[in-house]
Structure 1
Amino acid sequence: MDEARMNKPARAFGAARQWTRGHRAELRLAVRVTVSALLAYALSLLLHVPQVLWTVLTATIMSQLSLGRSVKATLDYFAGTLGGALFSGFVAATVPHGGQAGYLVILAVGVPPVALLAALWPRFASAPFTAVMVLLAPTIIHATPLESAVFRVIEVLLGGLVALFVSFFVLPSRAQALSVEHAAAMLRRMAGVLRQLLAGCAGPLDLARVSDIQKGLGPALARLEIFIDEARRERLARGEGHALAPLLPVLLRLRHDLVIIGRAVLEPLPGGLRETLSGRIDRVSAEGGGFLEASAGALAGGPAASLDAFEAALAAYDEDIAAYRAEGHMRALGVDDLERLFALGFALEQLHQDFKALRGWIEAFGAVGWRRGSG
């Protein structure tokens, strides 16, 4: 009993440490948002900004998970604010208004164009909000619409600059590093998918099961594409080239290879052919999955992945197929069986080519280069 009580704090500490390790990016974001809010508030007081609230809100909203996302959010928010402020200021200066009816008129004139602008180009999403704030400024603060437009732009500019400063220098989290981590996780997931699909050569896999095996790959690729776009913005902001661009097409081709394999294994191979190729396919599955996992490790800074074992397994598979054909057994197969066999062979060869492309890409940039570019 006493020993269990003594171990309880240790277990709690271990669980907290493990949770912290798994949520480092989120914890860094919490610190950055807090620093942004405090710094924006202090600067607003120091510079006598009329509406401190908007500066602090802008700084906290623009502090995103990664530097690349902060850059995009700040540029988009500032573009929308500037567009909304300019147009609403022009409307307020040229359209006569006074009293409640007058404000209804300038709202009816000033809001629709910026709302349409935001609908057509999402980066101007903040324009309608800014326009309303500027047009109704006299009902909230002692300032004309033109003064409100100028103040609004200054507040957003100051808040955005604070967010970018904090994103650069306070526990920075680079989208490039997040992209590499996500790509490594995708490769590990693909390794599991490949093994599960090739198991279908020995036993039936219906369409629902194949779809279930592959269902996470599409959303994961979409998230990776977002990370890569954010990384591009980061590297542009730092005056560097875009090192991640070749990664996404390679992973897209690998996913397509898995889709073709999934179609080829909806039905198991015919009995005689299955017995002949069973060991070879198992080896191809094991070595292919192993290469993908080793590639994920290489992205994380581990040793380079070797293709030798997979190529040897694939060569042995091709030799058995050639021997089976030479012995005349192919003539006994039905059209559907032949189509599946050829589709599987084509998919494995494409997989081989895309494995080589992946290996070449990793070798060209290297895990050391990734860490240097992401730090």
Structure 2
Amino acid sequence: MSLKALEVQWRWLRGHVLRRRVQIALALRVTIAAILALIAAQMADLPLPLWAVLTAVIVTQMSVGRSLKATSDYLIGTIAGAIYGGAVAILIPHQTESALLLVLVIAIAPLALIAAARQNMNVLPITAIIVLLVPTFTQASPLASAINRVLEVGLGAVVGLLVSFLVLPSSAHRQMRLAAARALDRMARALVDLVAGLGRGLSNDDLHRLQDGIGQALVGIDTVGAEAERERKARLSSQPDTGPLRRTLLRLRHDLVMVGRVAGIPLPEALKLRLGPRVALAADTAAEFLRKSGTALLAHAGPPPLEPFEEALAAYEAELAAVRREGLTRVLPGDVAERFFAVGFAFEQIHQNLIDLQRVVTEWGPETK
């Protein structure tokens, strides 16, 4: 194999690793957590090291904030399930098979109801089952089973949390920057496509295709944002509050929905010739601002200038005023006129939200490295 071919393969491998570095780091953390949890459980002479290993794997998450949430939920659920399951096992005799079935129902049913109402408590019935059934296969008492379960889970949780902190830790704020940049890029592409629809009209399928991906991205951003706020509350991060960024992205998404409603029906030919180039330029400059804002978030840099968009918007509004003075809007049907004026309103809203985005990017800028 030639040196050039090796270089090409090396670049491909390096690029692939860099693109998947977050997932690779998580895989490494999970592996290390499982190994350390097994070693620690064996050194502590716990009867079932399995639960320590499983817990360490479960609480080792994509970010430190998510690990904190998983650890607290798992520990609370385990302790509560162990207390309830142990109490049922101790207070209600269950030497026969029918009695054991009855006790199992009493132990599981209420905890399963709580777990159904609160998904973060799904470990409750599992813990109760383990505490109740393990003594039937071993010589341990229900009380010893409950205590061992809490110790095993506690050890695994501590190991998993320490690994999350110390081994290639991943900040939720870093993931927030990446998710926001991707959402802004989606919005930029959607805005250009939606404004292009003013010239030809867009079907409902086209509108859903453009909007659904943005909605899903914002759902993911809310999840990551909650994890980032958990890190801030635990004094693990000095990064900015994620609330303003999340709210600005949501408002921008609403602006795109407004533009999408207008884009369903094309503008009349006369207006399209006069206003089409102006509104297309406004969309292009707004899209460029969105993309560069995402790049600035990733680079911890200051925001891009907003003047190109503001100049394009001013040119569109001046042409719009000229069209109205010439009376070209008076002959429009009611629904078309409504959509026509909604374009200008939508871009005014976009302008206000781009100003907010510029402020937010400034807050997330160089001083937050």
Q: Same fold by TM (over 0.5)?
A: yes
Q: TM-score, normalised by structure 2?
A: 0.95
- C-alpha separation in 2, matches of 1:46 and 1:160: 16
Alignment of 1:277-356 (within 5 A): 277-301=275-299, 302-356=301-355
Residue 137 of structure 2 corresponds to residue 140 of structure 1: yes
Letter in 2 for 1:273: L
- C-alpha separation in 2, matches of 1:279 and 1:216: 27
- C-alpha separation in 1, matches of 2:180 and 2:270: 39
Q: Is the 8 A contact 1:250 1:358 kept in 2?
A: yes
Letter in 2 for 1:358: L
- C-alpha separation in 1, matches of 2:5 and 2:237: 50
Q: Give how far 1:44 is off.
A: 1.3
- C-alpha separation in 2, matches of 1:117 and 1:159: 24
Q: Is the 8 A contact 2:297 2:364 kept in 1?
A: no
> Deviations for 1:281-330, whole angstroms, at most 9, x for unmatched residues?
12101111111011111101244211111011101111111111112222
- C-alpha separation in 1, matches of 2:139 and 2:367: 57
Residue 201 of structure 2 corresponds to residue 204 of structure 1: yes
> Deviations for 1:242-271, whole angstroms, at most 9, x for unmatched residues?
611111111111011001101112122111
Q: Alpha carbons of 1:303 and 1:151: their partners in 2 closer, same or farther (altered >3 Å)?
A: same
**Structure 1: which 5+ residue stretches go unaligned?**
none
Q: Give how far 1:207 is off.
A: 2.2
Q: 1:51 aligns with which of 45, 48, 51?
A: 48
Alignment of 1:226-265 (within 5 A): 226-238=223-235, 243-265=241-263
1:62 aligns with 59
Q: Give how far 1:183 is off.
A: 0.2
- C-alpha separation in 2, matches of 1:230 and 1:59: 19
Residue 179 of structure 2 corresponds to residue 176 of structure 1: no
- C-alpha separation in 2, matches of 1:239 and 1:275: 56
RMSD: 1.6
- C-alpha separation in 2, matches of 1:214 and 1:138: 55
Letter in 2 for 1:23: R
Letter in 2 for 1:214: Q
Letter in 1 for 2:281: R
Alignment of 1:106-121 (within 5 A): 106-121=103-118
Q: The residue matched to 1:65 in structure 2 has which SS?
A: coil
> Deviations for 1:119-146, whole angstroms, at most 9, x for unmatched residues?
1222210011111110112223221111
Q: Is the 8 A contact 2:229 2:242 kept in 1?
A: yes
**Structure 2: which 5+ residue stretches go unaligned?**
none
Q: TM-score, normalised by structure 1?
A: 0.94
Q: Is the 8 A contact 1:299 1:367 kept in 2?
A: no
Q: Is the 8 A contact 1:298 1:367 kept in 2?
A: no
